[in-house]
């Protein structure tokens, strides 16, 4: 072994470092300033979806609660009127709560939902200071609306929104 051998080896190694520094893309993300996009089927915090007209998709059927293996969901239903309409059809969820400490993000609730109202979204930043705050209520879960007149409940034309369960299509993603 020559005297210069360690230096050669060292140079080789540093050369590799230099190569990757110059040639390879950076993978480190400076979270939280920067966030990585999530996969299409990522299962993050739930969102209660709305139709394009702003009406809530959730009809308060409680099937998500029934499917939930962790018993994290609590739903209570009430009746819609055309004067005070939350969702199409007769029934809407007057109470919708998910205990995020209990939730195991399995997505069974999504599968059970007959109106595709509950969807596991891409928000994974959940933190609470106490257990009570871990219970997300309906107003926290509902998708925000783009304009004021899409808010629920709202007065609608009588006799238009009579069906609770829309015709289902195959999921696209």
Partner 1 sequence: MSKQVTLTINGKQVTAPEGLTVADAAKLAGVDIPVFCHHPKLEPVGMCRMCLVEIGRPVFDRATGQPVMENGQPKIQFMPKLETACTNRVSEGMVVLTQSEKANDGQRGTVEFLLTSHPLDCPICDKGGECPLQNLTMEHGSGKSRFNYDEKQHLEKMVPLGELIYLDRERCIQCARCIRFQDEVAGEAVLGFDERGRHTQIISISEPGFDSVFSGNTTDICPVGALTTVDFRFGARPWELKAEASICSQCPVGCNTTLNTRREAKAGGEIVVKRVMPRQNEEVNEIWLCDKGRFAYHYTEGKERLTKPMVRKDEKLARASWDNATKTAAENFVANKKDFVVLASGRLSNEDLFNLKSLADTAGGEAILYSDMDGGELTQLVGVGAGTNLGTMGKGDAILVIASDLYEEAPIWWLRVKQAADRGATVIVANPRATKLDRFATYTIRYSYGDELKTINDFEKKSKISDAFTKAKNAVIFYGNEGLGVTGTSVLSSACANLLKETGHTGSANNGLIGVWQRANDQGAFEIGFRPVADLEKALKNKAVYIVGADPVGDDPNLAKALKNVKFVAVQDIRETATTEIADVVFPAQAFTERDGTLISGERRVQRFYAAVPAVGDSKPDYAITAMLAKQMGVILQGTSASVVFDILANSVEALNELTYDALAQVKEQWPLVGRNDVYYGGTTYDNTKGLGVQLIPLAQAGGAVKISKVRKEAALRPKDKELLAVPSNKLYDLGVTVQTAEFLEQRIGETSVAMHPTTAKKFEAAEGQVVKLSFDGVQAEAVVKFDETIGTGVVRIPRSMGIAIREPVVAKVQVKAAAGKAK
Residue 126 CA to residue 143 CA, distance in Å, equals 17
133 binds partner 1 (CB under 8 A): no
Toward partner 1, which CB reaches closer, 159 or 171?
A: 159
67 touches partner 1 (CB under 8 A): no
Give the separation between CA 2 and CA 148, rounded to whole angstroms.
79
Closer residue to partner 1 (CB): 47 or 88: 88
Q: Across-strand partners of 73?
A: 98
Query: What's the min distance (Å) between Cβ of 35 and partner 1?
Result: 34
89 is a contact residue toward partner 1 (CB under 8 A): yes
Question: What is the nearest approach in angstroms of partner 1 to the Cβ of residue 93?
Answer: 10
> Does residue 102 belong to the site contacting partner 1 (CB under 8 A)?
no
Cα 75 to chain centroid distance, Å, stands at 18
Least distance to partner 1 from the beta carbon of 56, Å?
A: 13
Q: What's the burial of 97, exposed, middle or buried (CB within 10 Å: 0-12/13-18/19+)?
A: middle
Contacts of 51 (CB under 8 A, 6+ apart): 57, 88
Among 9, 16, 76, 111, binds partner 1 (CB under 8 A): 76
- What sign does the CA torsion over 48, 50, 54, 57 have? negative
Nearer to partner 1, 15 or 69 (CB): 69
Which residues contribute to the site for partner 1 (CB under 8 A)? Answer: 59-63, 65-66, 74, 76-79, 89-91, 94-95, 97, 114-115, 162-165
């Amino acid at each position: 072994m020559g005297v210069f051998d360690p230096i050669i080896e060292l140079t080789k190694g540093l050369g590799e470092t230099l190569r990757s520094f110059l040639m390879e893309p950076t993978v480190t993300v400076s979270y939280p300033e920067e966030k990585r996009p999530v996969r299409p089927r990522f299962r993050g915090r739930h969102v209660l979806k709305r139709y394009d007209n702003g009406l809530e998709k959730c009809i308060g059927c409680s099937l998500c609660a029934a499917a939930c293996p962790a018993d994290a969901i609590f739903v209570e239903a009430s009746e819609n009127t055309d004067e005070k309409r939350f969702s199409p059809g007769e029934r809407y969820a007057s109470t919708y709560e998910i205990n995020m400490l209990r939730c195991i993000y399995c997505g069974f609730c999504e599968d059970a939902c007959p109106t595709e109202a509950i969807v596991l979204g891409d928000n994974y930043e959940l933190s609470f200071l106490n257990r009570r705050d871990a219970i997300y209520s309906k107003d926290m879960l509902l998708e925000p609306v783009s304009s004021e007149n899409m808010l629920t409940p709202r007065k609608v034309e009588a006799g238009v929104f009579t069906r609770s369960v829309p015709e289902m299509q195959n999921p696209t993603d």
